[in-house]
Structure 1
Amino acid sequence: MGSVVWQRVLPTCCWFLLVCAPWTVLSHPQCLDYKPPFQPPEPLAFCKEYSKFGCCNVEKDNLVSQRYYMIMDYFDYSGYLTCGKYIRNILCQECSPYSAHLYDAEDANTPMRELPGLCGDYCSEFWHQCRYVLSLLTDNNTTIGIEDDRDRFCAFLELKDPQYCYPNVLSNTDLNANLGSVQADPEGCLQLCLQEVANGLRNPVAMVHANDGTHRFFVAEQLGYVWVYLPNGSRVDRPFLNLTRAVLTSPWAGDERGFLCLALHPHFTSVPKAYVYYSVAVKKQERIRISEFTLSTSDMNMLDHSSERTLLEVVEPASNHNGGQLLFGHDGYLYIFIGDGGKGGDPFGKFGNSQNK
C-alpha cells in the first residue's frame, strides 16, 4: 500500500535527519481540520494579524467577521468599545496557526473546545470587563450560571498550557520566530509541511499535475494503472490508463520493472497527449517501451487505449536499473532516462553502460 503527499519544501538532507531533527523549537502549528497552516492567497480583511500565515482563507475570515458583527448587535456604543476587542480576539483564534492547540483539537478522539483556551490573567481581565458576553459566544448550556463566578468562568475558558494559551501564544518568541518561513536546522534540513492527498495505492511511482486549469492530478501505479484525482481529493472510478495486461511485472516486492512514469504534453490543453514509460516482454526479450496516447474525445478523464503509438523500445539486459523518468524540458524535447542496464558492477560494454557517454 502506498500514499501520496504534497511536499511544500524540498529537504536538503536525508529524511532520517528530518525525523530526528524537527523544528528547532519543537513548535507544532496545526489547524482545526488537522491540516497545516498556510499563507492565505488573498489578505484577510478581519483577522488581519493572520494574513501572512494562519488557518483562514478569505471565505473563513468573512464568516468570522459575520459572527462578530451579529454578536456586536447586542451592544450599545460603550459596550462596543469595552468588549469588542475581547470578542474579536477570541473569534479570530480560529485563524491562528496554533488553533488546534488553542481548541484542544489535536486529538481527534477527544472533544474540541467551543472557544479557544485563554491564559489565566487574560481570562480574569475578560471576566471583569465583559463576563456576560459568554452566553453570546457559545451555545453550550453548561455555561449557564457561571458568568457571576470568576473561578468557574475561568475554569471553563482557561487553557492550562502557559505556552499555547491566548494571548501568550502570540508573544512566545520560540513559537513565532520563524512562523511561515523556511529555515534550515543545524543539520541542514529544511522544515517540511506535508499533507496526504491520496491513499490506498499500490506502489505509486509517479504523480503529474494536469496543468490545464482543472487542478486534476494523475497518479501512476507500478502495476500499470494511472488514476485521476479531482481537486476535492476524490478519485475517478475508472482508470485514466490501464496497461496491466501489457506491463511486465512479477509478485516479487523488489521488482524494479513495471509501469514507471507518465508525462503529459507541455501543451496538454491543446495537444491532449500523454507519454508513458513501462517494461514489456517482446518474444521473451525484456524491453522498456515509450509510448504516446491521446486523450479520449468522449471522456476527459480517460486516455484512448486504442491510440497507443510506440515511440521507442530499448532492450534491457537485466531486470533491474530500468531508469524510469520522463520529462519535457523547457526546450520542448522529451527526455527519457533509461538506466544503466542493470546487474551488479555495471558489467555491460567495454566501460559499462553507465560510463558510456
Structure 2
Amino acid sequence: MRDAALHPSGAVCAYLRTVSRPSSSKKRSILPAFFPLLVSVMVLVPASAHPQCLDFAPPFKPLWHLEFCTQYEQFGCCDQKMDNVIAERYWDIIDQLDTRGEDLCEDLLKEVLCQECSPYAAHLFDAEDPYTPVRELPGLCSGFCSEFHGRCGHVVKYLTENRLLQDTSQRDASTFCSLVDLQDQDYCYPNVLQSSSLNSNLGRVAEDPRGCLQLCLTEVANNLRNPVLMLHSGDGTHRMFIAEQVGFVWVYLRDGSRLETPFLDLSGEVMTTGWLGDERGFLGMAFHPKYSENGRFFIYYSILVDSKLEEVRVSEMKASEHDVNVADPNSERYAERCLAVEEFLKRK
C-alpha cells in the first residue's frame, strides 16, 4: 500500500501500488481471530471477487510488455522478469519432448504455466491460506483438465516433483483431475475467465453514485487481543510487527505466518484493565530510521506506579544481537520525568 488519503466524501481510500529462449532448433527471442487485523486496498474488481497474487500483493499492470504470457500484460501478477522465468521453464520442458509430444501439448502447457500471472493466481494455486502448501499445479476445471491429461499427461513429471501427481497423470483422467480440481468451480481454469462478474471490472476503479471508491479488506492477521498498530522496521526483511494492547508485539513473516515467540513481551509491565474501550495499555512503537544498523526502537505504554499512580512510560530498546526477531529485554532505557522526550530520543 503506497499511500492513503481521505476521500472528500469521508471514505478512506487506499492506493496501491514483468520470452522466450533462443536455441539452434527453434526461433525464439528474449526482451530486456478475536479481533482480526484488516488492511484496505484499492478495489480492482467488484466486492464479490478478490484478485490476489501468490505474494499476497494485489495484481497490477506491468510496466513493460510481456512477451510470453501476453494475455496478462494488461492486468495480472507477473512483471517482465517473471514472464521470462516462465518462458525459460516452458522451453526447458519443450526441449525434453519429441516433436509429436511437443505438437500435442505446447499450447496447453503454456496456458497452465501462465496461470501464475493470472490476477486470480492465489485462488488457482490455493495460496490464500498461509498454513496450507501452495499447489504445484493450478486448479483446472474438469473439461480442460481431461484435455490436458490426454494431451499433456507425459509432461506432468516436468511440472512437479509430487509423486502422487506424477503417478496419477499416467492413470485415468478422472483420478488425475480429482487431485487438481478446485472446490469453487467459479475459480478453476478456464471458468475464471468466463465469469463476467469476476472479470468485467478487472483493473478498473469502481465508484458509486455518491463518489465513494469501493474498498475490499484483506485479512493479514487474526486471533489478536486488541491490536493497536502494525508497522515494518524498514530493514528490508519484509517483516510486519503487530502490537497488542496487552503488551505483546508479534512478528509476521512475508508469507503471512506468525513467529511463535513474541518480539516483545511487556505484559507484566503494561497496565491494562478489563473495561471495554479502555485506552490504557501498550500504546505505540516506532523504529529508528537506522534500525537496520543500530537495532533501536522506541515504545510507550501505560504503567501503574506504587499501585496507585498512573503514568505513561517512553522507552528505548534494542533488538537482540543473537536473534533479530526478539527484543533484548535488558536493553530498555526509560525517559526520566524531568527530561524532555525530544532530548531523550536524541541520546546516543
Q: Which residue of 1 aligns with 2:309?
A: 285
1:47 aligns with 2:69: yes
Deviations 1:183-234 (A, max 9, x none): 33446143325142x4443222122211022323322221222233344545
Q: Which residue of 2 aligns with 1:96?
A: 118
1:307 aligns with 2:332: yes
> TM-score normalized by structure 2?
0.59
Could you say what secondary structure the match of 1:192 adopts? strand
In 2, Cα distance between the equivalents of 1:146 and 1:269?
53
**Deviation of residue 259 (structure 1)?**
1.0
1:267 aligns with 2:274: no
Q: Which residue of 1 aligns with 2:3?
A: none
Alignment of 1:13-92 (within 5 A): 24=46, 26-29=48-51, 38-39=59-60, 46-51=68-73, 53-55=75-77, 62=85, 65-67=88-90, 69-71=92-94, 73-76=96-99, 80=102, 84-92=106-114
Q: Which residue of 2 aligns with 1:9?
A: 41
In 2, Cα distance between the equivalents of 1:290 and 1:258?
12
Cα distance change on mapping 1:101 and 1:272 into 2, 3 Å? closer
1:222 aligns with 2:245: yes
Aligned residues: 294
> TM-score normalized by structure 1?
0.58
In 2, Cα distance between the equivalents of 1:258 and 1:23?
39
Could you say what secondary structure the match of 1:205 adopts? strand
Q: 164-173 vs 276-285, which deviates more?
A: 164-173
Q: Work out whether residues 24 and 185 of structure 1, in 8 Å CA contact, stay in contact via their aligned partners in 2.
A: no
For 2:302, give the aligned amino acid. S
Return 5+ residue gaps in structure 1 as ranges.
12-21, 148-153, 314-325, 335-357
Deviations 1:63-94 (A, max 9, x none): 57525642464342x87567533331243234
Q: Work out whether residues 68 and 91 of structure 1, in 8 Å CA contact, stay in contact via their aligned partners in 2.
A: no
Alignment of 1:1-357 (within 5 A): 2=34, 5=37, 7=39, 9=41, 24=46, 26-29=48-51, 38-39=59-60, 46-51=68-73, 53-55=75-77, 62=85, 65-67=88-90, 69-71=92-94, 73-76=96-99, 80=102, 84-99=106-121, 117=140, 132-137=151-156, 139=166, 141=168, 144=171, 169-170=192-193, 174-186=197-209, 188-192=212-216, 194-196=218-220, 198-270=221-293, 272-283=295-306, 284-297=308-321, 299-300=323-324, 301-310=326-335
Cα distance change on mapping 1:240 and 1:136 into 2, 3 Å? closer
What RMSD, in angstroms, separates the aligned Cα atoms of the two structures? 5.2
Could you say what secondary structure the match of 1:201 adopts? coil
For 1:9, give the aligned amino acid. V
**Deviation of residue 270 (structure 1)?**
4.4
For 2:106, give the aligned amino acid. G
Indicate the structure (1 or 2) with the bigger Cα radius of gyration.
1
**Deviation of residue 262 (structure 1)?**
0.9
In 1, Cα distance between the equivalents of 2:186 and 2:251?
43
Cα distance change on mapping 1:259 and 1:28 into 2, 3 Å? closer
In 2, Cα distance between the equivalents of 1:40 and 1:163?
23
Return 5+ residue gaps in structure 2 as ranges.
1-32, 157-164
Could you say what secondary structure the match of 1:274 adopts? strand
Q: Work out whether residues 56 and 128 of structure 2, in 8 Å CA contact, stay in contact via their aligned partners in 1.
A: no
Q: 200-209 vs 234-243, which deviates more?
A: 234-243
In 2, Cα distance between the equivalents of 1:175 and 1:183?
13
Could you say what secondary structure the match of 1:266 adopts? coil
**What percentage of residue pairs aligned between the two structures are identical?**
38
Q: 220-229 vs 175-184, which deviates more?
A: 175-184
In 2, Cα distance between the equivalents of 1:102 and 1:232?
17
**Deviation of residue 261 (structure 1)?**
1.1
In 1, Cα distance between the equivalents of 2:142 and 2:190?
7
For 2:214, give the aligned amino acid. L
**Deviation of residue 30 (structure 1)?**
5.4
